[in-house]
């Protein structure tokens, strides 16, 4: 196994790298970025709770992205480290050191098993109360030139979009979190209007805090399949794992991201905004997408483009299939 674009957890406040390489008969340009969320100037920066890994294994490319999820309950054994950061970075390390010749879905199953085994070593952690367990999203893409396929497995609200040679695009991952986000963000807007305050101020309202707690408790890995999936060791996640394959030949490029990489006001699930994102990626790469995102955030300190934070952690992997040789 060969890990590409490697970086250290000690150097993940901002990391960007890219390379060209040959995979079977395919030529690829691949770039990746991860950036810790930015707070307003008078607030300290938090550690990056996103992580990614890219490896070549058995003549296939595997790209994995993990977006740690906030813990409802403190995990004392982690001391100053959040459960979200622990989960995403543990999964990155496990992905790089434990994967064998497996499909993305089997990798996700193995990762959730390893995460649970580790988490249960923490004081107070128990599967009967999954809110005591570190948690993360996971999106894993495998490019297999020999089979002529892109295989994907996914759980959570990180995402994958695909851009085709004929100019159209698809948002291929299922975002079960969106309906819950829409409810919470709608509540923030409502409170801001009723109290004549900014959305930033409304985000701190007790109603919003309680709504978030209820959403976490009521939706994550629900046993009846009506909620949303999260990688925390809960076996109920099985019914939330998306698993698809796409033919490789018509695809021009693939973009994996955490939800924080999308500029405020853009909707990655709509055709027009995907075209805007694709234009930014083609013309200036991931760094240009981050520049636009940061500019919009900084010009909107009151969060009138309603969001939870000034600037969330942002991670992206952009993979282009290049027709010419190099």
CA angle 74, 80, 81 (to 5 degrees): 80
Contact partners, residue 52, CB within 8 Å, separation at least 6: 32, 34, 63, 64, 65, 66, 92, 256, 315, 317
Q: How many CB atoms lie within 10 A of CB 137?
A: 27
Q: Is the pLDDT of residue 6 over 70?
A: yes
Q: Domain-by-domain residue ranges, the chain?
A: 2-175+227-302+310-322
Closest residue by Cα to residue 227 from 218, 90, 102: 218
Which residue do the tokens 């408790």 mark? 217
Fold entry, domain 2-175+227-302+310-322: Phosphatase 2c; domain 1 (3.60.40)
Distance (Å, whole) CA 75 – CA 134: 8
pLDDT in tens, 125-172: 888 888 889 999 999 999 999 999 999 999 999 999 999 999 999 999
> So what's the pLDDT on residue 326?
52
Q: Are 57 and 15 in contact (CB under 8 A)?
A: no
pLDDT at 1 over 80: no
Contact 154, 161 (CB under 8 A): no
* SS3 (DSSP) at 231: strand
Ranges of H-type helices in the chain: 83-98, 104-119, 178-195, 199-202, 206-219, 271-298
Give the 3-state secondary structure percentages of the chain, helix then strand then coil, rounded to 5.
35, 30, 35
Over the stretch 205-222, which tens digit does the pLDDT of each residue have? 999 999 998 888 889 999
């Amino acid at each position: 196994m060969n890990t590409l674009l490697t970086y250290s957890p000690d150097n993940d406040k901002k990391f960007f790298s890219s390379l060209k390489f040959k995979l079977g008969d395919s030529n690829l340009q691949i770039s990746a970025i991860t950036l810790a969320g930015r707070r307003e100037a008078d607030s300290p920066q938090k550690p990056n709770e996103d992580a990614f890994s890219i490896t070549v294994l058995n003549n296939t490319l595997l790209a994995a992205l993990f977006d740690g999820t906030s813990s409802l309950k403190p995990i004392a054994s982690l001391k100053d480290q959040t459960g979200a950061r622990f989960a995403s970075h543990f999964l990155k390390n496990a992905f790089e050191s434990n994967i064998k010749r497996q499909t993305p879905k089997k990798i996700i199953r193995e990762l959730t098993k390893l995460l649970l085994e580790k988490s249960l070593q923490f004081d107070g952690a128990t599967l009967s109360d999954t809110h005591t367990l570190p948690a993360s999203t996971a999106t894993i893409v495998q490019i297999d030139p020999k089979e002529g396929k892109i295989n994907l497995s996914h759980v959570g609200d990180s995402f994958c979009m695909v851009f085709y040679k004929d100019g159209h695009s698809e948002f291929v991952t299922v975002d079960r979190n969106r309906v819950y986000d829409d409810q919470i963000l709608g509540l923030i807007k409502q409170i801001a209007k009723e109290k004549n305050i900014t959305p930033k101020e409304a985000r701190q309202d007790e109603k919003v805090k309680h709504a978030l707690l209820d959403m976490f408790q009521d939706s994550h890995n629900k046993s009846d399949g009506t909620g949303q999936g999260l990688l925390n060791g809960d076996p109920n996640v099985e019914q939330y794992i998306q698993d698809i394959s796409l033919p490789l030949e018509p695809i021009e490029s693939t973009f994996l991201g955490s939800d924080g990489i999308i500029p405020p006001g853009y909707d990655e699930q709509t055709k027009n905004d995907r075209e805007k994102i694709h234009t930014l990626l083609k013309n200036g790469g991931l760094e240009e997408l981050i520049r636009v995102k940061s500019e919009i955030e900084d010009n909107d300190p009151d969060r009138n483009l309603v969001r939870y934070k000034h600037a969330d952690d942002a991670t992206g992997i952009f993979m282009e299939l290049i027709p010419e040789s190099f």
